[in-house]
Amino acid sequence: MDIKQLRYFIEVAETKNLSRAAENLNISQPTLSLSMKKIEHDLNVDLFDKKARYVLTKPGEILYRRGLTIVKDFDDLIREVSNYDEKINKSFKLGVTMLFAVIFMKEISAFITKHPSINLNIVQGGSLSLQEKLLDDDIDVGILSYPNYYPNEIEIQTVKTACKEYQVSVVMSESHPLAQKDRLRF
């Protein structure tokens, strides 16, 4: 039995009428009848009293009562998972120096293409300006070079890149979710 069949069973149990239940579910009556027979066959029980039309048996009552909870929990689960992406911050502010904006343009473009749901705001400035924006939470992450103008507030560590001529650092607040990552990739 799957969740769709459980929904069918609940509708029949609530309407106590196969034709009305089929109409409410937008399926044919024979399809609904076959579905009820399949559930009974799979569970090896009668869900409806054969003498009285669509009156639930004890196993039918149990399936109805517990089925309501299962369907509600399933719907809540689907809603929560579907809405999860909405809870993620879809805006990301990346601070880069003018030089690094040019050097890393290909990687930044690839990131934008790969993650179309993220609104990437690129803020260009000098290292001093970007470090100030980082301290003021005006940017999430900065791709900077030395010097470190705020050694007591910001720790800048050089990262390995294909750009060997320049020392490049990716800088962010310790509380930023990306700060917990061992590696960052565009």
Domain boundary pick from 63, 83, 103 = 83
Give yes or no: residues 74 and 92 share one domain.
Answer: no
* Residue-level pLDDT at 157: 61
Domain boundary pick from 83, 117, 139 = 83
Which of 175, 183, 168 lies closest to 95 in space, CA to CA? Answer: 168
Length of the chain: 186
Give yes or no: residues 90 and 180 share one domain.
Answer: yes
Give yes or no: residues 52 and 90 share one domain.
Answer: no
Burial label, 32 (beta-carbon count in 10 A; 0-12, 13-18, 19+)? buried
**What are the structure tokens assigned to 49, written together?**
């009293």
Give yes or no: residues 91 and 177 share one domain.
Answer: yes
Give yes or no: residues 131 and 71 share one domain.
Answer: no
- What is the average pLDDT score of the chain? 81
d(CA 65, CA 67): 5
Give yes or no: residues 63 and 125 share one domain.
Answer: no
Q: Amino acid identity, residue 186? A: F
- Domain holding 104, by residue range, is 86-185
Give yes or no: residues 158 and 170 share one domain.
Answer: yes
Give yes or no: residues 173 and 121 share one domain.
Answer: yes
Domain boundary pick from 27, 48, 83 = 83
Give yes or no: residues 76 and 156 share one domain.
Answer: no
Label residue 33 by pLDDT band (50, 70, 90). very high
CB 154 within 8 A of CB 148: yes
- 138-157 tens-digit pLDDT: 888 887 776 666 667 766 66
- 56-69 tens-digit pLDDT: 999 999 999 999 99
* Residue-level pLDDT at 119: 85
Give yes or no: residues 142 and 52 share one domain.
Answer: no
* Averaged pLDDT for residues 173-177: 65
Q: Amino acid identity, residue 141? A: V
- 89-103 tens-digit pLDDT: 578 888 888 877 777
Give yes or no: residues 67 and 21 share one domain.
Answer: yes
Q: pTM of this prediction?
A: 0.49
Stretch among 99-103, 112-116, 128-132, 152-156 having the lowest mean pLDDT: 152-156
**DSSP H helix total and E strand total for the chain:** 7, 5
Position with higher pLDDT, 100 vs 15: 15
**Highest mean pLDDT of the ranges 1-10, 69-78, 112-121, 132-141:** 1-10
d(CA 113, CA 61): 53
Total domains, the chain: 2
